[in-house]
Structure 1
C-alpha cells in the first residue's frame, strides 16, 4: 500500500512515522520547505520525501493520500487526486483505524484549546492514561505509533474535520460556532457550520455530543438535522436536565443522575466563556468517572495555554495581557467581555472578513484607546473612529507596546487581542505573542 502525505509539518511527519510502522510505502511531499528538525526525522526513519514541489507522478499513484489541514481543497494537486479518484483524508481519519481506545474530540470557533487542555488536565488528574493531540502538541499519529492504547483528547479544527470519513469520537464537544475561516468555505457560513458538525456524523446512540445550548448556530443545526448521539447541553441561561447549568453562581453538572456542584469563584480561569469551557470539561470528566473531588481540585489549579488571556506583567500599576491567540472577532469578544478596567486595546493583522459590529458595546464601555498593529488598518479605523477618540497606528510590536504604555494610566489594562491572523507582520500568533511579552518586559 502506497501512502502519500502532503505537508511535512508536525501532522505530516507524524503520519509518515505511523504509516511506516504499519507497513506502508511512504512518501512525504511539501510544496513549501520542510524544517531541519522534520527533515532529520524523515532521514533517520528512511522515509522518502521532497520539498518546494509536488512531483505529480510520485503522488497520483497513491492508494491513500493524507493531506495537512493547512492545504485547501482548491489546491491543484488535491483537485488532480480527486479527479483520479484517489482517497484524500485527514491525519485524524488515517490514525483512527490504528488507535485502540476511544477518543474525546473537541471543536468550536473559540474556546476549543482551553477546553481541550482543561479536559486533558481533569482526566490526567483523575488517573486515566490520556494523551493530548489534534490541533495541539505532538501529532495524534506520532503518539498512536508509540502508544495505541491511550485515550486521546483531540482538539479538531474544521479543516481537520473536513478530511474525516469514518472517524468517530465517543464523546464530541462543540464549544460554540461563529463565523471564521469563511475564505475556505466559499464565504458561506452554513458550509462552515456543517463542517463543525462533521464531528458527530458517525456517532451512535452509545456516544455523546456535548454542546453550548446558548449558541444560536448550534441550536439551529440541531433543530434541522439529526445526530444519533445522546445530546448533553450546557448553558449559562437555562436549566438543563442531563448536562450543566448555572445556579446561584455555581455550576451544576448532572450525568446519569450523578450531580456535582462547583462554585464559579473556585475556577482558576476567569470570564463567562471560561465557565462554559469548565462546564464542557466537567461533563467529559464525569462521563469518564473521574471523582468529584478531583474535578473540583483540577478546575482550581488549572493553568491556561500561553497566548490566551495570559497575564504578562504589571508595570506602573498597568496590567499587560497577551491574548495573541484571538485570531477572530469572536475570540476578542470574549477577551473584551472579561476586562474589568479601562483598556488600551492592541488590534489588527490580516482580516478574515471581520465584522466589528458585535464588539461595539464593549469597546464603547471599556476601551479608552486603540493601537492598530497591521499593514492595512483602514477597516478598524473606520469601524471605531466614531466612538474612540484615540486611535493610532503602529508598524512594529515595539512601537505598539510603547504607544500603549504611554496611553495607559495607573489601574488600566493593556490588552493584545488582535481579532485577526498574524501573517502580515509575524510568522504566527505565537511569535506575535512572544514579541509582545518581550517588549512588555523591556518597559
Structure 2
C-alpha cells in the first residue's frame, strides 16, 4: 500500500481535461507540487496550467516524462489514456506508483461510498440509486465517471453518501478502493483500444470488490458468469436475477430478500434490464440507508435516461427507438432482445471489438442498415444472418429502414460502435437521430415520400 501524498510531495498528472483539472486542483490545494503532461494542448492549456499553478509539459517526449517521474511521488493518468502510452512504462521503470482519484478520495475523506461498474448500465443504476437515497432523506451525490469527479465531489460537506460510477479506466489505476457496497452489473468486451487486452479489462472491473471492508456488500448479476466467478467468498453477497437471486422477481413483484418493493407494472419501462437495474439500485440504496418508501417513490417517478432504448416516435405503425449509447455489441444484444422484430441501424467507429457476437445473438433482427466507418464490419458480421444495406449517412439510414420496416416492427438505432467517425459523442448521434426521425414524420404527414 502506498503512502498518502502530503504537503511537499510531487505528482505527475497525465491529461488536463475535466479529470486532470480536478485532480491538479485537489493536489495543489493540499500543498502538493504538480506537473501536468498534455499530449494535445489547445490555445487555453497554458492559461489553465498557470491558473492551477502547475508545471506544464506540452506534447512531451518520453524522455521528458521519465525526467518528471524521477521527481514524482505518484503518477495520476487521466481515464481513457491507453495503457500503451509511454508514461505507464516510464512509471514502472522509475518505480513511481500509479494512482487514481479514488485513492486520493480515500486518503482525504471517510464518508461512505457505494460503487457501480459494468460494461453497460452504470449510469442508469448510479442515478437511480442517488434518487432512492435522496427520496429517503439521505444527502447523496453521483460522482466518478460523469461531470463530477469524486475528488471534486468530496469538497461538498453536505453530502452524506457518494454514489460512484466506477469505470474500468479509474479502477485500473487505483491502488485501493474500499466502497461500503459495490455492484458489478455485467461484463463484455469493450475498451480494447485502451486496456492492454481483455484480461486487463476484466481485472480492472473485478478490482471493485478487492478491498471491500469487513461487513461490506458485493452485489452481483447472477446471470453473468464472468461477474460471478469474481464474487468474494469472505464478504456478504447479494445476487440479482429475474427469477433467481436474493433480489429477483416473485410473481408480479420486484422483491429483495423476499420483501416486495414494487410491482413490475409500476416500473416506467419493463424490459428485462430495467428490472435488474432497478433491483440492483434498490439493493445498494437500502444498504446505504434508504427506506423502502423512498425506494418505491424513486421507482415510481423515474424515467429512462436519454439515448438508452429511448422511444422516439411511431410513424405509420413503426416504432423508432434511439439507443445511441450502445457503443459495444453487448449493449446491442440487450436492446435487440427487448423486441420481437427489429430493423437495426448499426455502425460508426469500431472500438477494436468483434462485432460477430452481436449478430449471432440478435435473432430478432430482420434486416440491418449499416452506417459509418464500420459499415463493412457490420456487413461481414451479419453475413448469412440478416440482409444488410449500407447507408450514406444517418438520414439515409432512417429512410431506408422506414422503407424496409412493416407496421408493428421497430426501427432501432443501436450502433455497437463509437460515434467519433461522424459525431462528437453518442449524445450528438442520438440527437441527430431524433431530429431526423421527426423530419421523416413531418414528411409523412405532409405527403412527401421518404
TM norm structure 2: 0.88
Cα shift readout 1:208-252 (whole Å, capped 9, x = no counterpart): 101112211122334xxx4532111122232x4xx3121112111
Aligned to 2:243: 237
Tell me how far apart the structure 1 counterparts of residues 108 and 158 of structure 2 sit (CA, whole Å): 7
Q: Is the 8 A contact 2:99 2:173 kept in 1?
A: yes
Tell me how far apart the structure 1 counterparts of residues 208 and 325 of structure 2 sit (CA, whole Å): 23
Aligned to 1:49: 56
1:184 Cα offset (Å): 4.4
Aligned to 2:39: 31
Aligned to 1:251: 254
> SS at 2:230's partner residue?
helix
Cα shift readout 1:274-319 (whole Å, capped 9, x = no counterpart): 1111111111121123221221121121123222112223344432
Of stretches 351-360 and 192-201 in structure 1, the one that deviates more from structure 2 is 351-360
| Structure 1 position 360 matched with structure 2 position 360 | yes
2:143 to 117, 130, 133: 133
Aligned to 1:286: 286
Tell me how far apart the structure 1 counterparts of residues 80 and 192 of structure 2 sit (CA, whole Å): 14
Of stretches 41-50 and 296-305 in structure 1, the one that deviates more from structure 2 is 41-50
2:14 to 1, 6, 13: 6
1:397-416 equivalences in 2 (<5 Å): 397-416=394-413
> SS at 2:418's partner residue?
coil
1:42 Cα offset (Å): 4.7
Tell me how far apart the structure 2 counterparts of residues 269 and 3 of structure 1 sit (CA, whole Å): 46
Q: 1:319 to 1:360 in 2, by over 3 A?
A: same
Q: What 5-or-longer segments of structure 1 have no aligned partner?
A: none
Aligned to 2:422: 425
Aligned to 1:82: 92
Aligned to 2:318: 318
| Structure 1 position 70 matched with structure 2 position 67 | no
Tell me how far apart the structure 2 counterparts of residues 413 and 39 of structure 1 sit (CA, whole Å): 50
Tell me how far apart the structure 2 counterparts of residues 39 and 302 of structure 1 sit (CA, whole Å): 43
Tell me how far apart the structure 2 counterparts of residues 21 and 100 of structure 1 sit (CA, whole Å): 18
Report how many residues are paired: 428
1:50 Cα offset (Å): 4.5
Aligned to 2:209: 200
Tell me how far apart the structure 2 counterparts of residues 159 and 379 of structure 1 sit (CA, whole Å): 26
Cα shift readout 1:57-112 (whole Å, capped 9, x = no counterpart): 44542221211121122211221122001121122222221223010110111111
| Structure 1 position 17 matched with structure 2 position 25 | yes
Q: 1:392 to 1:71 in 2, by over 3 A?
A: same
1:368 Cα offset (Å): 3.1
1:323 Cα offset (Å): 0.8
Q: 1:53 to 1:311 in 2, by over 3 A?
A: farther
1:428 Cα offset (Å): 2.5
Aligned to 1:373: 371
| Structure 1 position 262 matched with structure 2 position 270 | no
> SS at 2:22's partner residue?
helix
Of stretches 159-168 and 430-439 in structure 1, the one that deviates more from structure 2 is 430-439
Tell me how far apart the structure 1 counterparts of residues 406 and 43 of structure 2 sit (CA, whole Å): 44
Cα shift readout 1:318-349 (whole Å, capped 9, x = no counterpart): 32211111111111111111124x32211012
Q: 1:316 to 1:286 in 2, by over 3 A?
A: same
| Structure 1 position 343 matched with structure 2 position 342 | yes
Q: What 5-or-longer segments of structure 2 have no aligned partner?
A: 1-8, 441-450
TM norm structure 1: 0.89
Q: Is the 8 A contact 2:243 2:249 kept in 1?
A: yes
> SS at 2:320's partner residue?
strand
Of stretches 47-56 and 20-29 in structure 1, the one that deviates more from structure 2 is 47-56
Tell me how far apart the structure 2 counterparts of residues 33 and 434 of structure 1 sit (CA, whole Å): 29
Cα shift readout 1:133-184 (whole Å, capped 9, x = no counterpart): 1112222122223448542111112221111112211101011122223454
Q: Is the 8 A contact 2:69 2:90 kept in 1?
A: no
Q: Is the 8 A contact 1:117 1:305 kept in 2?
A: no
